[in-house]
């Protein structure tokens, strides 16, 4: 990345089965003629190294100069821990393979912030009304303006993330993203604007949106 001098390792947990999608393993599902994983690998062709956690036993995708593979763990956090053991960059970007569309402007924001902050994630507003159901019925509405949805890539000093993972392991704590683990260290995590096009492919209907976006992605007219 232009103007960025420390080494960047990209860590891609891609070992999930994609149960909610019903067509796993999710990283190998195709949109626009490419696997979800391949979309991500193309987006990070500039990185010093990319480490990918694959479902154990999965065939390795075609070789790319900066990409290496490791067998993933049974949980996302374990997959990331295995990737982190291999990473050598001063900065790591952790990115879910389930998010095929990586917006370069967001990556630029993350890299610009991480060099001073050491921990930064992209966020997007909550579009829907947000409630806490009570016994399956409508419960208190939360003020959605006070909440935000967290995306990946998430950027950290490698040593901060390694310490966060070590602490979580020693306390037997799990989290759905890396920022939670870093925050548990008492280390502040900055927020930068994310982008709704970096949505996570989770449910079957997400593939319809992904196919449509894939058709126009190279021109990125949105
Ligand atoms: O299931 P979910 O969509 O939250 O998974 C987020 C990311 O974590 C996906 O890219 C998935 O492949 C990855 N993952 C993993 N190892 C697991 C479970 C999930 O690398 N054991």
Q: Quick: pLDDT tens for 138-172.
A: 999 999 999 999 999 999 999 999 999 999 999 99
Given a cut of 80, whether residue 71 has pLDDT beyond it is: yes
Distance 79 CA to ligand 1 centre (A): 8
pLDDT at site 2:
46
Query: What pLDDT digit, counting tens, does each position of 93-143 carry?
Result: 999 999 999 999 999 999 999 999 999 999 999 999 999 999 999 999 999
- Residue whose CA is closest, atom 7 of ligand 1? 96
Say which residues have a Cβ less than 8 Å from residue 151's Cβ, sequence separation at least 6: 99, 106, 121, 122, 123, 124, 194, 195, 198, 200
Give me the chain's average pLDDT, please: 94
Under the banding of pLDDT at 50, 70 and 90, the label for residue 1 is very low
pLDDT at site 32:
95
| Ligand 1 touching residue 83 (CB < 6 A) | no
Given a cut of 80, whether residue 222 has pLDDT beyond it is: no
Distance 103 CA to ligand 1 centre (A): 20
10 Å CB burial of residue 182 (0-12, 13-18, 19+) is buried
Under the banding of pLDDT at 50, 70 and 90, the label for residue 6 is low
- What domains does the chain contain, in order, with CATH numbers? 8-217 (3.90.550.10)
Burial per residue of 36-57, b for 16 or more beta-carbon CB atoms within 10 angstroms, e otherwise: bbbbbbebbeebbbbbbbbbee
Query: What pLDDT digit, counting tens, does each position of 190-216 carry?
Result: 999 999 999 999 999 999 999 999 999
Query: What pLDDT digit, counting tens, does each position of 15-49 carry?
Result: 998 888 887 799 999 999 999 999 999 999 999 99
């Amino acid at each position: 990345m232009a103007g960025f001098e420390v080494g960047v390792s990209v860590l891609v947990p891609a070992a999930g089965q994609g149960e909610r999608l019903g067509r796993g393993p999710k990283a190998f599902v195709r949109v626009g003629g490419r696997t979800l994983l391949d979309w991500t690998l193309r987006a990070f062709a500039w990185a010093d190294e990319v480490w990918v956690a694959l479902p154990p036993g999965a065939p390795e995708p075609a070789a790319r100069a900066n990409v290496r593979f490791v067998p993933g763990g049974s949980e996302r956090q374990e997959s990331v821990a295995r990737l982190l053991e291999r990473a050598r960059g001063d900065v790591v970007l952790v990115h879910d393979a389930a998010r095929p569309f990586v917006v370069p402007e967001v990556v630029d924001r993350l890299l610009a912030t991480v060099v001073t902050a050491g921990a930064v994630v992209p966020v997007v507003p909550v579009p829907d009304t947000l409630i806490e159901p009570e016994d399956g019925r409508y419960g208190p509405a939360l003020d959605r303006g006070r909440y935000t949805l967290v995306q990946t890539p998430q950027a950290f000093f490698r040593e901060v993330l390694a310490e966060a993972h070590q602490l979580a392991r020693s306390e037997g704590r799990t989290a759905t993203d890396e920022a939670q683990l870093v925050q548990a260290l008492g280390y502040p995590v900055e927020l930068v604007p994310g982008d709704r096009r970096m949505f996570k492919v989770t449910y079957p209907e997400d593939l319809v949106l992904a196919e449509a976006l894939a058709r126009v992605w190279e021109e990125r007219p949105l």
